[in-house]
Structure 1
């Protein structure tokens, strides 16, 4: 029985500014790097076999910190990137509420119906993530795989793996370095842990 460990990147510069990052290549803060170290320490007993990451710096740098402690190399895939948010990228939440009021309301209440210029739809994001993750799972049967990615990507992926409709996207959240674990049992994938942040108590 293999396990899939999903972890969101540490705190980034744009997290502090409440800016939508999407596929913009933002950097970790010092706190973000410390969060990554704490997450790595929390994963030491989990017997991780492989680490894969989004190629965006905030995820890759988080993965590198974890990989150094676990003595594992990190392989990156563009398909593990965050959702492309198009015209929202670089804007703060307040700016979006002011400039895209209707679209923001849709995002908060019915996110699967959002259709922004130059952006991905949630269902497209989910299909992108499932495509690459299903390949990684198939190629590494019964291995414990750690994937470092992004908040929206991880949420969409979890729903897809569990067969839960994408319309439930806004019913849970994923924190910086929050760890989720899915077990691939004989009968079904099972969500064992969702957004564990217990390693951050001292950060």
Structure 2
């Protein structure tokens, strides 16, 4: 049985102030680094064979902290990047509500229909995420850690479960949360979703 553990990167200053990152290359802040350290201690019990991470700094930094703790190799893949949000990248939610109100309403109510100029559509993110996961599942690794981003992870989980993207906003993925998918002969099973208990542990 293969097991894929999926985590979102640690907190950044842009997360803190609600600024849209997309594929902007933002580093972890001090809280994010501490979150990643707590996550690493939690994952040290999982016997992870390999770590796959997005190439964006906030994801790679999280993966590196985990790798240094559990002594597991990292593979960087840009296909694990966050959605490209086009001209929303770098804006705050208040900016978007003010300047792109109709598009924002679509994102909150029918996110699968949002089609911003220069941005990825949600289905495109899901397709690239599913493709890399399928490739990973054909490797010899059994216990695999994926370090990625909130929107990308949500789209992936819905895709794995064959749930329509209309349900995108019904899932929450917090910074350094743990979600676990086990692949049985009957198909994928979600064992854990958005677990952040490790952040409350001393």
Partner of 1:116: 116
Matches within 5 A, 1:22-41: 22-41=22-41
TM-score computed with the length of structure 1 as normaliser: 0.97
Structure 2 CA distance for aligned equivalents of residues 3 and 164 of structure 1: 20
2:61 aligned counterpart, secondary structure: helix
| Structure 1 stretches lacking a partner, 5+ long | none
Look up the match of 2:126.
126
1:43-65 CA-partner distances (Å, limit 9, x unpaired): 11111111000000000000000
What CA deviation, in whole Å up to 9, does each residue of 1:27-77 have, x standing for no partner? 100110000010111111111111000000000000000011110121100
The structural deviation recorded for 1:140 is: 2.8
Shift of 1:202: 4.8
SS at match of 1:45: coil
* TM norm structure 2: 0.98
Q: Aligned Cα RMSD in Å?
A: 1.0
The residue matched to 1:23 in structure 2 has which SS?
Answer: coil
Instruction: State the Cα deviation string for residues 6-33 of structure 1 (Å, max 9, x = none).
Output: 0000001211121000000001001100
Paired position in structure 2 for 1:153: 152
Q: Say whether 1:50 aligns with 2:50.
A: yes
What are the Cα deviations for residues 118-160 of structure 1, in whole angstroms up to 9, with x where unaligned?
Answer: 100000000011111110111235x100000000000000111
Distance 2:110 2:152 in 1: 17
Q: Matched residues in 1 for 2:110 and 2:165: separation?
A: 10
* 2:100 paired with 1:63: no
More divergent stretch after superposition (159-168 vs 2-11)? 159-168
Q: Which SS does the other structure have where 2:75 is aligned? A: strand
Q: Which runs of 5 or more residues in structure 2 are unaligned?
A: none
